[in-house]
Chain A
Amino acid sequence: GIQVEQSPPDLILQEGANSTLRCNFSDSVNNLQWFHQNPWGQLINLFYIPSGTKQNGRLSATTVATERYSLLYISSSQTTDSGVYFCAVDNYGGSQGNLIFGKGTKLSVKP
């Protein structure tokens, strides 16, 4: 089945710094989503981005589907950005539509 790898596994930043999180996937996808899991476990949708570039405030994402990777950029990080960031993709051509998750990047932003 499709494999999803995220890097780095852990990231520690000072408040105000910028960061780039990477997601590599092993096959073609219909769907790629980025999520932020907060300390209470809630998964918050950041981007639905099977291809192209999107921006939302201090966050932006780019997916290069032909090269099978996606990047999440966080600028001017804040302590509230702390948590785990997941990339998830679907099974291309599959009818079930379930998401395959990477193991996440744990981000800690220090004041």
Chain B
Amino acid sequence: DGGITQSPKYLFRKEGQNVTLSCEQNLNHDAMYWYRQDPGQGLRLIYYSQIVNDFQKGDIAEGYSVSREKKESFPLTVTSAQKNPTAFYLCASSIAAGGPYNEQFFGPGTRLTVL
């Protein structure tokens, strides 16, 4: 089955802790994205990566970090510097970033709650 997987589904964190959210895809897509969704809102871009070993900040990157060491994987770390991390996090991928190959497909999401 081709698709995007995210783990864990639910994550609880104490204030001051860093946590890492996993995102894996087997679609052979070059581009990957992390979005954040708050209740009653649309999605906002945190980071994106057009190719392995490259990534760029999105609109709300402060307090987050990413890596892209493998094509299939794009983990997101929520650091203690993120002031309001409780949210629903969605990972997406596309054949390429921009242009006609930018149809994005999403994983099932991770719900992060800070206690």
Question: Nearest Cβ distance between residue B93 and chain A, in whole angstroms?
Answer: 11
In this complex, how many residues of chain A approach chain B with their Cβ under 8 Å: the count is: 24
Cα A48 to Cα B105 in complex, Å, equals: 11
Question: Is there an interface contact between B103 and A33, defined as CB atoms closer than 8 Å?
Answer: yes
Question: Is there an interface contact between A40 and B98, defined as CB atoms closer than 8 Å?
Answer: no
**Could you say which residues of chain A place their CB within 8 Å of the CB of B96?**
97
Set A41, A90, A101: member contacting B42, Cβ < 8 A: A101
A43-B90, A90-B98, A103-B41 known; A98 vs B103 contact (CB < 8 Å): no
Question: Nearest Cβ distance between residue A65 and chain B, in whole angstroms?
Answer: 13
Question: Is there an interface contact between A102 and B42, defined as CB atoms closer than 8 Å?
Answer: yes
A33-B103, A41-B108 known; A94 vs B98 contact (CB < 8 Å): yes
Which A residue's beta carbon lies closest to that of B31?
A97
Q: Is B64 an interface residue (CB 8 A)?
A: no
Q: Interface extent on B, as a size class?
A: 20 to 34
Q: Is A64 an interface residue (CB 8 A)?
A: no
Which A residue's beta carbon lies closest to that of B108?
A42
Question: Is there an interface contact between B48 and A41, defined as CB atoms closer than 8 Å?
Answer: no
**Could you say which residues of chain A place their CB within 8 Å of the CB of B85?**
none
A90-B102, A95-B98 known; A40 vs B48 contact (CB < 8 Å): no
Q: Is B43 an interface residue (CB 8 A)?
A: yes
List the 4 closest A-B pairs by CB distance, nearest first. Answer: A101-B42, A97-B97, A97-B98, A43-B106
Measured CB to CB, the residues of A under 8 A from B are: 4, 30-31, 33, 35, 40-43, 45, 48, 86, 88, 90, 94-99, 101-104
Measured CB to CB, the residues of B under 8 A from A are: 31, 33, 37, 40-45, 48, 50, 56, 58, 88, 90, 92, 94, 96-100, 102-106, 108-109, 111
